[in-house]
Amino acid sequence: MPPRRRTKLICPLTCTSPAALRGAMDQAKARGADAVELRLDYLAAPPTPEDLRPLLADPPVEVIVTCRPVREGGRFDGDESARLALLRAAAELGANWLDVETDADADNLPADRIILSHHDFACCPTDLDALAARLDESPAAVNKIAFAAAGPEDALRALDVIRAAAKPTLALAMGEAGVTSRILARKIGAFGTFGTLTPGAESAPGQPTLAELTGLYRWGELTETTAVFGVIGCPVGHSMSPAIHNAAFSAAGVDGVYVPLLIQPGEEHFRRFLDAVRARPWLDWRGLSVTIPHKENALAYVGADRCDELARKIGAVNTITIEPDGSLRGDNTDYAAAIDALCDAMGIPREGLAGRDVAVLGAGGAARALVAALTHYRAIVTVYNRTLARGRALAEEFACAAAGRDALAGLRAEVVINCTPLGMHPRVDRCPLTDIPPGVRVIFDTIYNPVETRLLRRARAAGCTCVTGLDMFVNQAVAQFETWTGTKAPRSVMRNVVLKHLTSAS
Ligand code: NAP
């Protein structure tokens, strides 16, 4: 189904000379923009109408002309009448659109080309609905409201404004937490969204690049019915999940988009966003990945009775599924991913772990998921941890043994699993074991960057079967994809995305 109206991909241009602006207009078109916004207030010197002529004569795409004054977060600090004269000259030279602030005198400007704009760089206006209604009642052709987002629920408020408006509307929640409003603008039928030519060329906080919108976020494929997914975390900007899942949707032909969701620590922040999602069934929000620090909050929100048994034991949910009727389900794909990577490498079913000696190094979040799963399948587990008390607490909870790191010299186990960061990028020379103890047949390093850690190199040299953190990482993304879509995940596509990211990061 096509979107209600074709949402323009607008490239804001913040060049300091008219000549550079002209060149950037062609580049924006080449990268998929439908329109450019000429930010005249970024020019080193105020332009004359003669400067504007070559920019507005036969432009490659539609042109929005903006000369934002300092009082609205722009850079123009000259005379207001000179600013309005510049906009009038742009109109006479054929600019498609003129961005005019709500407090400006727009009487001499053509109303059918005005984008009437309001900006709030502090927060979401408390009177957002009244403000939107006032814009709707004005003679201007298009409404624009941009405000700073405190959390991703503010992005949903921006989408509400677009949906409720009688006129074409741009509503944007600025900042990293608001990026969903920019990505989903097309699904909701906004007038447009902004995408920069390059990283760092933003005219407002949180603008993705054109390449991110058209490539990573599948702009050209978004429709009114596209299902929405995302990853909740803090921080979340480094997460590979949007790249993995969007590539997987593309490869598998799934009508979905996956966005990053920056939610500050604290159950109240988590709850506020989930409540906001569930109050808007028209979003078609179907799934959420949950990472640090919200996995416990996810379990509490979904409710233990709607989570899988091991998620309850571990005390953490990393996957939420939202059914079309709004009901929720919580899963923990971390443990399943780890245990299946191990069992696949050993060529045994999960039940085949019963009675096998397993040493787990570390007692943090990753160790907890593994110890819960291993003891569930009746493996004989010993936790070795630097802080013995923490190791003992974990061991007591899951009825297994604990030892300090000084006991590693006498380690006797068939399987060793490293759940510490020893050997992780950038300190790749470190290794949790100086030698591979006799009798060890399988070594699993949960670290995925680098894929081949020093521990795994030692293990291979000693003839052990090796399991990588990459196997575990890809498994958990595959499990999420299959849980949400009910279709087989394109595993090799997902694995290649991770490898590409790791190569470019190191
Ligand atoms: P975490 O909760 O911070 O726990 C870290 C554990 O490592 C703790 O037991 C800590 O011991 C121990 N540790 C830290 N630095 C150490 C050092 N210098 N020497 C000895 N022990 C040390 O971290 P996590 O979330 O469990 O992550 C641990 C590892 O798992 C990371 O390397 C991560 O890459 C990996 N992981 C992989 C995946 C995947 O999908 N492949 C997913 C999650 C995690 P203390 O208790 O003494 O502090």
Residue 61's SS3 state is coil
Annotated catalytic residue, options 154, 284, 334, 445: 334
Q: Which atom of ligand 1 sits closest to the CA of residue 475?
A: 40
CATH number of 335-467: 3.40.50.720
**Residues in the chain, overall count:** 506
Q: What is the 462 CA–ligand 1 centroid distance (Å)?
A: 24
pLDDT in tens, 262-300: 999 999 999 999 999 999 999 999 999 999 999 999 999
* Residues with C-beta less than 6 Å from any ligand 1 atom: 362-367, 385-387, 390, 419-422, 424, 446-448, 469, 472-473, 476
> Which whole number is the average pLDDT over 491-496?
98
Name the residue with the closest Cα to ligand 1, atom 13.
420
Give the Cβ contact number of residue 66 at 10 Å. Answer: 26
SS3 track for 125-169: CCCHHHHHHHHHHCCCCEEEEEEECCCHHHHHHHHHHHHHCCCCE
Q: What is the mean pLDDT of the chain?
A: 96
Bridge partner list, 226: none
Ligand 1 centre to CA of 305 (Å) is 29
* C-alpha of residue 393 to centroid of ligand 1, in Å: 16
Residue 315 CA to ligand 1 center (angstroms) comes to 17
Catalytic residue among 8, 41, 51, 144: 144
Q: What is the pLDDT of residues 426-449, one digit of tens each?
A: 999 999 999 999 999 999 999 999
Domain ranges (residues) in the chain: 8-216, 233-331, 335-467
Dmax (CA) for the chain in angstroms is: 86
Q: In testing the pocket of ligand 1, which one of 446, 449, 478, 502 has its CB within 8 Å of the most ligand atoms? A: 446
- Buried b / exposed e over 184-206, threshold 16 CB at 10 Å, is bbbbbbbbbbbbbbeeebbbbeb
The 8-class DSSP code of residue 427 comes to -
Minimal-distance CA residue to ligand 1 atom 40: 473
**CA–CA distance, 411 with 73 (Å, rounded to integer):** 63
Q: What is the DSSP letter of 70?
A: G
Please give the number of the atom of ligand 1 that sits closest to the Cα of 423.
Answer: 32
Helix (H, G, I), strand (E, B) or coil at 43: coil
Q: Are 172 and 146 in contact (CB under 8 A)?
A: yes
Pairing of strands 97-101, 285-290: unpaired
Q: pLDDT above 70 covers what percent of the chain?
A: 99
Cβ neighbours of 361 (radius 10 Å): 25
Q: Which amino acid appears at position 425 of this protein? A: H
Residue 339 has pLDDT above 90, yes or no: yes
pLDDT in tens, 345-368: 999 999 999 999 999 999 999 999
Q: Which atom of ligand 1 is nearest to the CA of 391?
A: 46
Cα separation values, 25 from 31, 58, 186, 260, Å: 10, 11, 22, 29
Q: What is the mean pLDDT of residues 100-118?
A: 97
| Span from the CA of 345 to the centroid of ligand 1 (angstroms) | 22
Report the alpha-carbon distance of residue 256 to residue 247 in Å, rounded: 10
Ligand 1 centroid distance, CA of 264 (Å): 22
Catalytic residue among 8, 119, 245, 269: 119
Contacts of 407-411 with CB under 8 Å at 24 or more apart are 408/361, 408/384, 408/432, 408/433, 411/359, 411/382, 411/384, 411/437, 411/440
Distance CA 122, CA 317 (A): 33
Select from 312, 285, 279 the least CA-distant residue to 298: 312
8-216 and 335-467: same fold?
no
Residue 144 annotated to the active site: yes
Q: What is the mean pLDDT of residues 67-85?
A: 95
What is the separation, in whole angstroms, between the first and last Cα of the chain?
41
- Residue 1 above 60 pLDDT? no
Residue 420 Cα: closest atom of ligand 1 = 7
**Is position 8 annotated as part of the catalytic site?**
no
C-alpha to C-alpha distance for 457 and 447, rounded to whole angstroms: 13
Instruction: Please give the CATH number for the structural domain made up of 8-216.
Output: 3.20.20.70
The model carries a pTM of 0.94
User: Looking at ligand 1, which atom is closest to the CA of residue 366?
Assistant: 26
CATH of span 233-331: 3.40.50.10860
Q: Whose CA is closest to 232, among 173, 163, 284, 290?
A: 290
Tell me whether residue 295 is one of the annotated catalytic residues: yes
How far does the centroid of ligand 1 lie from the alpha carbon of residue 287, in Å?
A: 27
**Is 376 annotated in the active site?**
no
Q: What is the pLDDT of residues 446-467, one digit of tens each?
A: 999 999 999 999 999 999 999 9
